[in-house]
């Protein structure tokens, strides 16, 4: 019986690409966002250049329309960050800008959660808009003669939004009827892209896992002023979240990475962050075992260029 470990790497990659192609859907996220920076006019650049004895056409300058550090503006950008993080956490990379791959059985959950985030964004913008006069008055004071009322809309509502769609990454069926040769070329292009998506997924998991393990090892092993370094609960919690996402989205082309994830998960299983702080023996034991995982991971990162998935000749 042929096992996963017995299969050639090219076959693993091709099989994984096929599974990815048949069980996942392309998802695209897009934002409408009020631009808070604006370039200076030619006259303003010339005026600024004069103060430096420079020529205006060789000067690049802009102005900040509102204070982005205002708590209400930061609340709006925080929703955007959570939205992007959620989208990335539920998906795998795809070799086309702005597109990631989501499991088909997770689409309902994705749509519900995104609708909730959209509502949060709308509510945050409403609250920001309530402080809009305050922000524009502050801008008038700070920008001086650079302030222009024409730069500011009447309201910020409707100027921030998030949308998502599910673009097709498959060759259109009508192309098969119109031009079979071109259709086959497109099919090969899509196959190559999914092969690349497999490589990107493995690389992303390896990089993230290495960073999380390295960070926790550094916190557990390191000292500052002769005392053990303090670490946040997130150093352990983030690693556990990674395990869950890896199990859900792993494409299964790297048996060594699978083994290392299993090993690390066993090391921190049932270990609470506070126990690591209170029990130096446990802390050292966990640090030693994770350091072993880290050393093998470092080798994977060095060897990775040789692990690129290549399609078998037809």
Of 29, 31, 26, nearest to 164 by C-alpha is 29
- pLDDT value at residue 222: 67
Domain boundary among 165, 197, 214: 165
Query: DSSP secondary-structure letter at 118?
Result: H
d(CA 309, CA 314): 15
Q: Are residues 272 and 144 in the same domain?
A: no
Domain boundary among 165, 195, 215: 165
Q: Are residues 198 and 85 in the same domain?
A: no
The answer to whether 171 touches 193, Cβ cutoff 8 Å, is: no
| pLDDT at 46 exceeding the cut of 60 | yes
221-235 per-position pLDDT tens digit: 866 565 677 778 998
- What would the two tokens of residue 54 be? 């420079």
Q: Are residues 208 and 281 in the same domain?
A: yes
d(CA 98, CA 27): 8
Classify residue 245: in a domain, yes or no.
yes
Higher pLDDT, 103 or 55: 103
Give the 3-state secondary structure percentages of the chain, helix then strand then coil, rounded to 5: 65, 10, 25
- pLDDT value at residue 123: 98
Measured from the Cβ of residue 79, the count of other Cβ atoms closer than 10 Å reads: 20
Q: Are residues 177 and 94 in the same domain?
A: no
d(CA 142, CA 240): 46
117-158 per-position pLDDT tens digit: 999 999 999 999 999 999 999 999 999 988 999 999 999 999
- pLDDT value at residue 59: 73
- pLDDT value at residue 98: 92
Domain boundary among 117, 140, 165: 165
62-93 per-position pLDDT tens digit: 889 999 999 999 999 999 999 999 999 999 99
Classify residue 260: in a domain, yes or no.
yes
Query: DSSP secondary-structure letter at 254?
Result: -
- Answer whether 0.75 is exceeded by the pTM: yes
Query: DSSP secondary-structure letter at 270?
Result: T
Mean pLDDT (whole number) for 261-289? 91
Residue 98 zone, left/alpha/beta (φ > 0; ψ -120 to 50; rest) = left
Q: Are residues 101 and 149 in the same domain?
A: yes
Classify residue 3: in a domain, yes or no.
no
Q: Phi, psi (5° rounding) for residue 101?
A: -110, 130
Q: Is 92 helix (H, G, I), strand (E, B) or coil?
A: strand
Q: Which structural domain, as residue segments, surrounds residue 238?
A: 173-307
* Span between the terminal Cα atoms of the chain, in Å: 25
> Which value, in Å, is the radius of gyration of the alpha carbons in the chain?
26
Q: Are residues 149 and 219 in the same domain?
A: no
* Number of domains comprising the chain: 2
Q: Are residues 159 and 55 in the same domain?
A: yes
| pLDDT at 17 exceeding the cut of 70 | yes
Q: Are residues 156 and 206 in the same domain?
A: no
Burial tier of 310 (Cβ tally within 10 Å: 0-12, 13-18, 19+): exposed
165-204 per-position pLDDT tens digit: 999 999 999 999 999 999 999 999 999 999 999 999 999 9
């Amino acid at each position: 019986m042929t096992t996963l470990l017995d299969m050639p790497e090219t076959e693993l990659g091709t099989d994984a690409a096929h599974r990815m192609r048949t069980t996942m859907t392309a998802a695209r996220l897009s934002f409408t966002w009020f631009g808070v920076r604006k370039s200076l006019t030619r006259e303003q650049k010339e005026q600024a250049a004069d103060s430096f004895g420079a020529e205006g056409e060789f000067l690049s300058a802009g102005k900040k329309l509102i204070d982005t550090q205002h708590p209400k503006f930061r609340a709006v950008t925080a929703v955007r960050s959570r939205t992007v993080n959620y989208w990335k956490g539920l998906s795998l990379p795809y070799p086309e800008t702005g597109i990631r791959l989501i499991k088909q059985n997770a689409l309902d959950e994705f749509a519900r959660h995104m609708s909730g985030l959209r509502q949060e964004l709308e509510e945050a913008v409403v609250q920001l808009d309530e402080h809009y006069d305050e922000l524009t008055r502050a801008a008038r004071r700070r920008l001086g003669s650079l302030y222009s009322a024409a730069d500011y809309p009447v309201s910020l509502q409707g100027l921030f939004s998030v949308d998502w769609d599910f673009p097709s990454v498959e060759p259109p069926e009508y192309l098969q009827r119109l031009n079979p040769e071109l259709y086959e070329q497109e099919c090969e292009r899509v196959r190559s892209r999914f092969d690349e998506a497999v490589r990107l997924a493995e690389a992303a998991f390896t990089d993230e896992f290495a960073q999380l393990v390295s960070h926790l090892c550094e916190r557990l092993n390191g000292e500052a002023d002769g005392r053990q370094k303090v670490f946040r609960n997130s150093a352990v919690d983030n690693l556990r979240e990674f395990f869950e996402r890896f199990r859900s989205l792993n494409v299964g082309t790297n048996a060594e990475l699978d083994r290392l994830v299993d090993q690390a998960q066993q090391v921190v299983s049932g270990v609470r962050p506070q126990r690591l702080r209170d029990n130096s023996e446990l802390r050292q034991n966990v640090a030693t075992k994770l350091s072993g995982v880290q050393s093998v991971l470092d080798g994977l990162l060095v060897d990775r260029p040789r692990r690129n998935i290549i399609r078998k000749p037809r």
